[in-house]
């Protein structure tokens, strides 16, 4: 039962190493990256043991499968370090919402514009929403004009990801920060 638990812990993404490789012959690459040739699996395992390294299956799609002699612990550590570095540099953009009414006053509009500017400069996307109550939906053209005005005022720092459109009793658009090129 203990052996079954160990097999369950092995992830599908982890490479097949040492005794878990079950191919009759493999193409072998040494730790410096040079091809050694085609060996039986027992010869390849013995070569790896002599060098006190691990035999790792690199590609099982080729004929014969390709294995490499490397220090698996060190290899796994460098792979995790690279993945951590990638995650660290990755910025997750959130979608922040700026809500308004179609008949918004000039000062209130400026406040919403400043909010959107702040969100965009911090790397977040902005969803500008104008909601209607009752029969106000008749003035959807005013709301579309207001959102287009906002997009034109923010075009120096934002790209229009989704142009203004009507969805039920709301009109909305989505702006994303300008890509840094």
Residue 8 is predicted with a pLDDT of 47
Domain count, the chain: 2
* Residues 125, 148 within the same domain: yes
Instruction: Choose one of 31, 53, 88: the last residue of a domain.
Output: 88
* Residues 34, 15 within the same domain: yes
Give the DSSP letter of residue 65. P
Q: Domain range spanning residue 30? A: 2-88
CB 26 within 8 A of CB 68: no
Residue 94 dihedral angles phi and psi, to the nearest 5°:
-100, 160
* Residues 9, 81 within the same domain: yes
Q: H or E stretch including 119?
A: helix 106-121
Distance between CA atoms of residues 150 and 157, nearest Å:
12
* Residues 56, 79 within the same domain: yes
Instruction: Choose one of 34, 54, 88: the last residue of a domain.
Output: 88
**Regions of the chain short of the pLDDT cut 50:** 1-8
Residue 12 is predicted with a pLDDT of 58
CB 93 within 8 A of CB 123: yes
Specify the CATH number for the domain of residue 79: 3.10.20.80
* Residues 7, 79 within the same domain: yes
Residue 34 is predicted with a pLDDT of 86
Instruction: Choose one of 88, 112, 145: the last residue of a domain.
Output: 88
* Residues 84, 138 within the same domain: no
Distance between CA atoms of residues 169 and 129, nearest Å:
10
pTM passes above 0.75: no
Residue 1 is predicted with a pLDDT of 44
CB 51 within 8 A of CB 31: yes
Alpha-carbon distance values, 163 to 81, 105, 124, 171, 180 (Å): 40, 23, 17, 10, 21
């Amino acid at each position: 039962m203990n052996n079954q638990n160990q097999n369950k812990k092995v992830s599908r993404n982890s490479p097949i190493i040492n005794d878990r490789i079950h191919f009759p012959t493999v193409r072998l690459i040494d730790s410096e990256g040079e091809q050694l040739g085609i060996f039986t699996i027992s010869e390849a395992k013995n070569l790896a043991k002599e060098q006190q390294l691990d035999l790792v299956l690199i590609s099982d799609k080729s004929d014969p499968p390709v294995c490499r002699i490397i220090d698996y612990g060190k290899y796994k550590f460098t792979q995790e370090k690279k993945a951590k570095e990638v995650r660290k540099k990755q910025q997750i953009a959130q979608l922040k919402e700026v809500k308004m009414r179609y008949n918004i006053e000039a000062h209130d509009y400026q406040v919403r514009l400043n909010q959107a500017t702040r969100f965009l400069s911090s790397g977040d996307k902005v969803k500008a929403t104008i909601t209607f109550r009752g029969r106000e939906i008749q003035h959807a053209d005013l709301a579309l004009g207001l959102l287009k005005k906002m997009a034109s005022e923010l075009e120096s720092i934002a790209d229009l990801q989704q142009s203004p459109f009507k969805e039920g009793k709301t009109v909305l658009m989505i702006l994303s920060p300008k890509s840094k090129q």
